[in-house]
Copies of this chain bind each other. A is one copy, B any other.
């Protein structure tokens, strides 16, 4: 890389697992996407230059679900180049909590509330993997092992 050239790196996004902690069993919020790829997904979106990941996560949650979330933990970073067919996008996935009424907005055509072990289908991107790892986190309080284990 030329020392003067700006490097090209993968796109950066956030996704948010929102636990509705004022409901029995603390179910989670998923959205049905308005744009391709169509299907169910975690609320999320691209990070803007000038905002932190945490600001992006709270902004995207509010824009798509109308919920004012409290971030709890970083579940992990998902970076497989094949996870988004449109191009290499890395997602930082946060676990958050919120109360109140969720409403589908912006890129969310529809919104549903689900037990985390029984999500709808199809889930887009690698969100089925992310939800499996979230179940591990929810059961143990520990973030999932890094991909490939101790490398």
Contacts and interface: CB of A to CB of B under 8 A. Distances in A.
B146 A48 contact: no
Contact of A12 (B10, B81, B148): B10
A33 B58 CA distance: 35
A73 interface: yes
A83 B9 CA distance: 17
Contacts of A54: 79, 146-148, 151
- The interface residues of chain A, by DSSP majority, are classed as loop
Nearest to A146: B71
B74 A77 contact: yes
Contact of A143 (B12, B79, B87, B143): B143
Contact of A10 (B47, B74, B76, B79): B47
B71 A52 contact: no
Contacts of A30: none
A50 interface: yes
Contacts of A80: 52
A148 to B, nearest CB: 6
